[in-house]
Amino acid sequence: GATIGILGGGQLGRMLSVAASRLGFKTCVFEPGGDCPASHVSNYHFQAEYEDEDALRRFAAAVDVVTYEFENIPTSALDVLDSFGKPVRPGRNALRISQDRLTEKAFLSELGLATAPFAAVDDEIDLAEAIAEIGLPAILKTRRFGYDGKGQARIMTPEDADQALADMGGQPAILEGFVTFSHEVSVIGARNAAGDVACFDPGENVHEGGILRTTTVPARLSAAQRTDAVLLTGRILNKLDYVGVMGVELFVTGTGLIVNEIAPRVHNSGHWTQQGCAIDQFEQHIRAVAGWPLGDGSRYADVVMENLIGDDMARLAQIAAEPAASIHLYGKSDVKPGRKMGHVNRITRG
Ligand code: ATP
Ligand code: MG
Ligand code: MG
């Protein structure tokens, strides 16, 4: 059978490997770290840096198609893999755009989608101009490498500006106007090589300290909002000629849906699909990158997904004693504050 190469060996790579293996594929994980969650469940593990062209060449030779589980892969690594004739799905354009919050927001607004007002900030002068234009409160974010709310500083009053800029550590940043939303939702969308698009039912997300805490389906959305959420996701996927699963994070406001960010990969807020659908986001992604038809992702249950973060693991025995709690652990040996260790899916209505 074919071998699927996965760049990145975290929990998303782990769950992709399991899904691929169920479909009869072999998996080969490329991950600089040693004892990583995906390496426990994949057939092969290349432990090397993304800049190591020789390792990339050997990886390319070992796989039939390449995908990735996180968006901070250097695009140069994808170029090397491309040059060995191995298809990379989703393609490098989706990766490039979503790696930088500035190009991401520019792409979304060119598509006619609503985003928070934004401006590029490299120094004090840019920041003063951006605050004058956008107003306060606002959020300053590094353009690249941010996740789980890291690399962000809120600016409530003009006095906060200097500290916020210092928090960026000299990295290029973006100022975003603060969006007043009633709640947050996300759409997990999929598109295959034939151009078919399927979206999972939107989930409602609650964050704590910048980290996703729970996702609940169904989300509180009107029929019209639900349609808008799915249609805008389809437009993003089509525009990028996308192949694979994507997460689209949205703010729900009185004046419509505002796109916060897109993730060119399976997404934490889609983990509920493991217990809520016949075909979950991981199988859907593998189907898409392998050139298969998409599966049926209709939601057949109400589900609450709870992340197990850091010390939440102290409650594991208690959760394990709940007969209907479906537990997914990532095999990470050391518990650290803020580290995602696993998640639980609870069906609240079957
Ligand atoms: P992720 O882990 O989802 O990749 P991230 O570090 O990329 O997160 P964002 O999604 O941009 O960060 O922001 C994290 C959270 O902060 C959002 O889910 C939202 O709750 C809040 N937030 C971010 N940007 C804004 C904004 N412009 N207005 C209001 N709230 C915001
Ligand atoms: Mg993000
Ligand atoms: Mg986010």
80 marked among binding-site residues:
no
261-300 confidence digits (pLDDT tens): 999 999 999 999 999 999 999 999 999 999 999 999 999 9
User: What's the confidence (pLDDT) of residue 65?
Assistant: 97
* Domain spanning 3-88, CATH class: alpha beta
206 marked among binding-site residues:
no
CATH 3.30.1490.20 fits 117-177, yes or no: yes
33 lines ligand 1 (CB under 6 A): no
Band of residue 22 on the pLDDT scale cut at 50, 70, 90: very high
Ligand closest to Cα of 185 equals 1
249 lines ligand 1 (CB under 6 A): yes
Please report, for the chain, the start and end positions of each structural domain, with discontinuous segments joined by +. Answer: 3-88, 117-177, 183-349
For residue 1, is pLDDT > 90?
no
Secondary structure (H, E, C), the chain: CCEEEEECCCHHHHHHHHHHHHCCCEEEEECCCCCCHHHHCCCEEECCCCCCHHHHHHHHHHCCEEEECCCCCCHHHHHHHHHCCCCECCCHHHHHHHHCHHHHHHHHHHCCCCCCCEEEECCHHHHHHHHHHHCCCEEEEECCCCCCCCCEEEECCHHHHHHHHHHCCCCCEEEEECCCCCEEEEEEEEECCCCCEEECCCEEEEEECCEEEEEEECCCCCHHHHHHHHHHHHHHHHHCCCCEEEEEEEEEECCEEEEEEEECCCCHHHCCHHHHECCCHHHHHHHHHCCCCCCCCCECCEEEEEEEEHHHHHHHHHHHCCCCEEEEECCCCCCCCCCEEEEEEEEEEC
323-346 confidence digits (pLDDT tens): 999 999 999 999 999 999 999 999
139 lines ligand 1 (CB under 6 A): yes
263 CA closest ligand 1 atom index = 4
150 CA closest ligand 1 atom index = 6
User: What's the confidence (pLDDT) of residue 350?
Assistant: 78
* Domain spanning 183-349, CATH class: alpha beta
Q: What is the pTM of this model?
A: 0.98
| ipTM value > 0.90 | yes
